[in-house]
Structure formats: C-alpha cells, structure tokens
A and B are shown apart, each in its own frame.
Chain A
Amino acid sequence: MASITHPGHGDGHHGAHDEHHGPGGVFHQYIDLEQQNDSYIVGMWTFLVTEVMFFGALFLIYGLYRYAYSQDWFLAHEHLDYVMGGVNTFNLLVSSLFMALAVRAAQLKDRKVVLRLLGGVMVCAAIFMVIKYFEYTGKFHENLYPGPTFTKNAEILHGANLNKAQMFFGLYFAMTGLHGVHVVVGMLIIGKLMHMWWKKNPMVTEDYIPTELVGLYWHFVDLVWIFLYPLFYLMPRPDALAAHASGGGGH
C-alpha cells in the first residue's frame, strides 16, 4: 500500500471551488478513479434506497386502504383505461431496454450509438408523459380529481361509494403524479447526460459509470411504474363481487 499516488495534486488550492479535477476526471477528494467510481455506485444505490422508502410510504397507504375498501376501489378502478396504462407500461419497458443497451454502448465507448439510444429513451419518456396528460385531462373533465367538486355521478364509477372512490383517485393522482415528477426529472438528467456525450466530455466518454448510474435511476423509475400499473389499472375482482356477478348472471 506504500505507493498511493494522488492524481488531483497539481493545483494545490482546493478551497474556493473544486471544479478542476486531475487527469481522467478524478475529483480531489478521491485517491483514484476506482475509488471515485465505487463511491458513485454506492452513492447511487443509497439514493435509490431513500427513493424506495419515499414511495414505500405511499404504497403502504395504498395497501391498507385497498384492503379496507377493496370492492369500492375495484369499481372505481374500472374507470381507468388499462389500454392507455398498458401502452405506457410497454413504452417504459422499451425505454429501459434502450437504456440498458445505451450503458452497454457506453462500455464499448460507441458514442453515436449511445446518443441514439438515449434519444430513444427520451422519446419513450415524452410519449409516456403525453399519454399521461391525456389520461389526467380525461379524469379532470369528469370531475374525478379529489375535493368538493368531486363527481356526484356514481354511474360513471360503476356504483362505487363516492367517498372511497375519491380516496382511490386521490392516491392515483398522488402516486402516478409523484412518479410523473420522477419521469420529468429523469428526462432532465438524461438530457444533461446526452449533452455531455454530445460535447465529448471525457467524464462520460472515457468512463461508462456515469451513464450506468443514470441508467440505474431510469430503471428505478420504470420499476415503480411496473408496480403502479397493476395496482391501479389491473385489480382482480374481489370475491364478494365475483360471487355476486356469477350468482346474478348479469355482467
């Protein structure tokens, strides 16, 4: 261990700002690129843990209320368009594939392919937001956002208790909204990453770790949606309702 070198030594004054790094983009606090990359990776996973806890509280709230109000929530959920949600799910899965391939291309230092694939991710993310926009405005037109103006028309909610349906849509907007914010933030980060690749910044072109970390974030955003989609759009028919349906022979 006696031969530790310090790539970032050259400038001497680190105090005022540390934008300047030594050769290979190593910041002054790190001994070498390996330590820097290890720190980035642990840091990113730590951040994702905080994100899991962040969403986790909402998933817990969802779970408790769905358990308590399963029938009304089932009836309310039938008003969500599972085709739109499904298209968006497929769309995000494709974007994750693009992202994984982009990381692979970054490892191979194939700049053009990276830029093309990241562009693909951006397009998918934009399509996601557009579809989400149409879904949200549709709900707004039907007065399905929570509050005193929430619809009094139980028919469009298939006879669900309006209070419970309001809670369903409240959590729907809270959780998909928070997810949407993460998609937008993801687009900003990917945009910045593309800019760095575009400008041939050695921090990304010489080293695939930054690209991989952005990828990790994007996969996380994707994964949240993978849970949100079945939870909100694809509820199984509760037993009591199923018995009623088969007994009545109606629907």
Chain B
Amino acid sequence: MSTTVTTPIGGLDGSPKVEQNYLTNGHTLKSWLLTTDHKRIAILYLISITFFFGLGGAFAGLIRYELIAPAGNVLESETYNKVFSAHGIIMVFLFLVAVIPATLGNFLLPMMIGARDLAFPRLNLLSWYLFNAGGALVLAALVNGGVDTGWTFYTPYSSLYSNTNVSLAITGIFLAGFASITTGMNFIVTVHKMRAPGMTWFRLPLFVWANYATAVVMILGTPVVAITLLCVVFERTFKLPIFSPELGGDPVLFQHLFWFYSHPAVYIMILPAFGVISELITNFSRKRVFGYHFIAFSSLAIAFLGFLVWGHHMFVSSQSMYQSIVFSLITYLLAVPSAIKIFNWTATMYKGNIRLDAPMIYAIAFMGLFTVGGVTGLHLATVSTDIHLTATYFIVAHFHYVMVGGTITAFLGGLHFWWPKMTGRLYNESVAKWNAVLVFVGFNLTFFPQFVMGFMGMPRRYHYYYFAPEFQPYHLMSSAGATALGLGFAVPIFYLVKSLFTGEKAGANPWGAHGLEWETQSPPITVNFETVPIVTDEVYDFDPVGEHEELMAKLAGAKS
C-alpha cells in the first residue's frame, strides 16, 4: 500500500526515542492484566480461547469415543446429554463467536486502518474480563454437574423441567454475550472514526469490512438472545411465566427469539473468516483482489439477510407452513452473497502468482469445505428435504463444515499468516504445511461420513445406535478422522510456541504482503506506528508485472 508519513509521534524535542515493541513494553503480570493495548488484549483473548477450544474439543473427543460402538462405549444417556451440551455451549459461545474478532480482529483492525488503538481500549479490556467471567460460570455449571439442554436451551425443557445447572450456564453465556457486544461497539466506532488520513471506506482492507459487518450483527443480535435467555433464568428462579405453556405462554416464541440471534450468530462466526480468506487469497496470489466492492458489500448483505432467515431452524416446529416457505426463499437468497465471495476469490487466484504457503493451504481448504457446507445448507433450507433431514447427522455435518471447515480453518490460516506480525518470529513452514493438509484430511474423514449416515437416518444426539449397527463403519471413520483432526489442532500449539523461542526473526513483512499492518515493525510498537500513516492508494495495489520483471532481473543477475 502506498503511504506517506509525516508527523513523528514522539521526540518533538529532537531526542532519539527508543520505542519498545508491545511485548517488551512491561513485563509484569499487572502490565498484562491491566493492559489497554489492543494487541495485548488480543493475545490474552488468544490464550482464553485456546483453553476453551481445548476443553470443547475434549468433549467432542468423548462424543466420538462413545459412538465407536453401537451400544455406546462409556457414557450413560444423561452423561452423554451433558457432554454434547457442554461441547456445543463451549464451542459456540466461548469459542466460535469470539475467535476471529477478539483475537485477529482485535490485533489487526486498528493497525489495518492506521489507528493507535481501538476507540475504547478500556472497554476492550472489560470485554476480555466479561468473557472470562462468563467462561468461569459455564465451567462452574459443568463442574457442578453439567447442563443437559443442548446449547439451544429450548423451552419448556430448559425453563420448567431440567434439573441441571441451566441458570448458571445461561448467566455465563449472558456475560460472554456482553463481551461480544462491547467488542462489536468498539469495532463500529473504530472503523467509523479512527481511520488514518486518506483511509477512505473503499480503501479499507476486506478484513476490516468483514469485521465491521460482524460488529453490526453482534450489536443487533446479541442483546436479543441475552434478554431471551435471561427470561429463561427468570422463569426458572422467579417462576416468571413467559414461555411456560401451562399458563398460556408460547415455548416456540423462545425458539423464534433464540434463532433471531443464533442464526445471525453463525454469520458472527463466518464473516470474519471471510475477511481472513480475502486477505490470504489476495496476498498469496500476488494479485489485486477481484471485485473488491462486491466482496465488501456481500459482507453487509449477509449481515442484513442473516436477520431474516431464522425461521429455517423451525420448519418442524409449530411455525406456519407459509412462514416456512418465505424463510426458505430468503435463505436461498442468502446463498448469493456467499457465492459471490467464493467466485471472487476464485477469480482472484486465476492467473495469479500463487504461493502455496501454509496460510494459503488453509485458505484453499476453506474454499472447498465452506462450499460443501454452503451447498448442503441449501438442502436444509428446502422445506421438503429439511423435514427428512431434521435432527440427523446430516445437519451436524453441515454446520461442522461451515463452522469447523470454515471458521476454524480460516482462523488457523489467519493465525499462521499474522503470527510473524504478532510475535516477530517465523514458524516452521514445512511442518505447518503438512499440518494444514492433515487438518483438511482429518476434517473430511470426520464429517463427510456424517453426511452419508445422516442422510440414511442416523439421528443426532443419540449416544447409541444398537438398533442400526450398519452405521458403525461411518462412526468408526468419523472417530478416526476426529483423532487426526485433534492431532492437527494440537500440533500447531507446539510449533507455534516453539517459534517464540527458536523461530527466525521475521522482519516487518516476511510475506511481502500488502496492508498497513505490514508497514510497521514486527512485533509492533505499543502505539502501532512511529508516525501517523497517510494513505494514498488502495490496499491491494499488487503489481504482478513489476514483480515478475524483478524476479527475472534477479535470476538474470544470478546467472551472469
């Protein structure tokens, strides 16, 4: 990106000033726990989120281990209910919703727009504390005996009948929800008001656009689910009749309100992933992104349409058939902006100078997996096929393709891409490449068989299937794949942490990538930029011809 720089930040008195990078600027525990630096908060979030991901993954492991045998291996029915509920609650509310915005978004958004920090740094810190407080309450609910409602907390079971720690878990989710709301508010204000001079809206990196759209969904959706879940707690503790059918309340109303958030919430999870992929595809194809405006506006279109499709989760509830038809049609419409992105990325790669580094492998894996997840979503958006597939493993496979194959793959790709920027160190690229392949293979082995057995009728949330032992081969494949996938998620922890100590120094821009974040040192100084950047051109101003000539000249020079 072309930038010119003018006013120095420090040293107006002429003295040379040694700026420490954000990691070395304060070594005490207090300097981390009370930091308001968006980069440090991103690191704190990364640690919390890795912890919850590991925990949620352990519960997934239990599920897969249980299902190896048709009669079930270890778990009682009740325990199994609690295990898959814990897996869902942790992964959705304590991992997926926050993972990319709170880590990569927090770290990069201010740098990408040339700001020193988010607009409200202390609010940002509060967000992390709220997130952890919410996580602690959910943990307390699990330690205290667990929750057996599933992550959706459907009434009236959750409000009237379940004797598990529903209120505690919901209170935790409520707090984590406010962490999400504060992050969203911070992003919106930052993008609106903190852009560097010359950083116009259409010079914003697509990652910023995606996080902006995410933030809009966060602030519009999260309050609704917060109050809805609070109503469930009130109903449990104060007998406040809101969804209880015996007094005339409507339990399905809970589903409407819940999915009014929780469907847009899947866009909270996937939109930032789109942003990451846009950056990866462009930078590793060495080419200007194709259809910048379409990608930017498709994010907003997804954010908007995402609020109009919640009823497709309720085709088998008491919802009117005509309502279902409308929700179904709007859901088809929603496939358009998602497809626009995939097509634009493909067009970006076309005739690009593609480098298959680990982040790019993740990005390409994302495009394949998300497409499968998206296309199978259309089966579920069609009322007739959905009624056949409801509550089967087909749905489980579908949303894992979108959430794991989409969000987690993008997160891993983004983490590898920006790791040198965050830590100043290079990781072991060849191990990372093989690991990316392992994740892709392990993922498909885990979830593709679930499509097949789901289509054939294997119900979700069962802890045995002795009535249909013919499903065992699929479950075996799935469990084997889960083992590989678990390995693929664990290995990066080792080589990334190792890179902190023995990794080669990265330099400001090891990838030759474009974007303001690459124009400051790695790791960045606390205020991000030595001088206030002034932006004079779009971010993806790659010059393939020039790069090619440069390379040729280099080769010619080496020959002579």
Contacts and interface: CB of A to CB of B under 8 A. Distances in A.
Interface of A: 1-6, 9, 12-18, 27-31, 35, 38-39, 42-43, 46-47, 49-51, 53-58, 60-61, 64-65, 68-69, 145-148, 161, 163-164, 166-167, 170-171, 173-174, 178
A18 B221 CA distance: 32
Given A50-B181, A170-B240, 19 more contacts: A9-B12, A13-B25, A14-B116, A15-B31, A15-B35, A15-B526, A29-B119, A30-B194, A31-B532, A39-B190, A39-B193, A46-B219, A54-B223, A55-B227, A57-B260, A58-B227, A61-B257, A163-B247, A164-B247
A47 B184 CA distance: 10
A1 B26 CA distance: 34
Nearest to A56: B224
Nearest to A15: B25
Contacts of A46: 184-185, 188-189, 219
A131 to B, nearest CB: 22
A35 B194 contact: yes
B357 interface: no
B240 A173 contact: yes
Nearest to A38: B193
B219 A35 contact: no
A176 B241 CA distance: 15
B197 A50 contact: no
B248 A64 contact: no
Contact of B224 (A28, A53, A164): A53
5 contacts: A50-B181, A54-B223, A60-B257, A65-B248, A164-B247
A51 B227 CA distance: 10
A86 B117 CA distance: 47
Contacts of B231: 58, 61, 174
A61 B219 contact: no
A42 B192 contact: yes
A1 B198 contact: yes
A38 B119 CA distance: 10
B457 interface: no
A79 B36 CA distance: 52
A4 B10 contact: no
A55 B239 CA distance: 20
Given A1-B534, A39-B194, A46-B189, A16 B249 contact: no
B241 A29 contact: no
Contacts of B9: 6, 9
Nearest to A145: B238
A4 B250 contact: no
A16 B36 CA distance: 8
Interface in B1-40: 6-7, 9-10, 12, 17, 20, 22, 25-26, 30-31, 34-37, 40
A29 B117 contact: yes
A76 to B, nearest CB: 12
Interface of B: 6-7, 9-10, 12, 17, 20, 22, 25-26, 30-31, 34-37, 40, 110, 115-122, 181, 184-185, 188-190, 192-194, 197-198, 219-224, 226-228, 231, 234, 238-242, 246-250, 253, 257, 260, 526-527, 532, 534
A114 to B, nearest CB: 25
A147 B239 contact: yes
B26 A15 contact: yes
Contacts of B197: 1, 4
A39 B189 contact: yes
Nearest to B30: A16
B154 to A, nearest CB: 16
A4 B224 CA distance: 41
A201 B253 CA distance: 49
A57 B228 contact: yes
Nearest to A2: B6
Nearest to B40: A15
A203 B228 CA distance: 38
Main secondary structure of the interface of A (DSSP, over half): helix
Contacts of A1: 197-198, 534
Given A14-B37, A15-B26, A167-B249, A42 B188 contact: yes
A42 B228 contact: no
Contact of A53 (B17, B31, B40, B220): B220
A39 B187 CA distance: 11
B248 A18 contact: no
Contacts of B532: 4, 6, 31
Nearest to A55: B227
B239 A43 contact: no
B241 A166 contact: yes
A112 to B, nearest CB: 31
B116 A28 contact: yes
Contact of B35 (A16, A27, A61): A16
Contacts of A55: 227
B25 to A, nearest CB: 4
B84 to A, nearest CB: 27
A42 B194 CA distance: 11
B117 A54 contact: no
B37 to A, nearest CB: 6
A46 B216 CA distance: 9
Contacts of A65: 248-250
Contacts of B257: 57, 60-61
A54 B226 contact: yes
A35 B242 contact: no
Nearest to A12: B10
Which residue among A58, A170, A173 has the maximum number of chain B CB atoms within 10 Å of its CB?
Answer: A170
Contacts of B242: 61, 167, 170-171, 174
Contacts of A147: 238-239
A38 B193 CA distance: 7
> 4 closest A-B pairs (Cβ-Cβ)?
A147-B239, A29-B117, A15-B25, A54-B223
Which residue among B234, B257, B527 has the maximum number of chain A CB atoms within 10 Å of its CB?
Answer: B527
A196 B238 CA distance: 39
Contact of B185 (A47, A57, A146): A47
Contacts of B193: 35, 38-39, 42
A4 B7 contact: yes
Nearest to B534: A1
A9 B10 CA distance: 6
Contacts of A9: 9-10, 12
B48 to A, nearest CB: 20
Contacts of B190: 39
B248 A69 contact: yes
B126 to A, nearest CB: 13
Contacts of A146: 238-241
A23 B329 CA distance: 57
A29 B228 contact: no
A216 to B, nearest CB: 14
A177 to B, nearest CB: 9
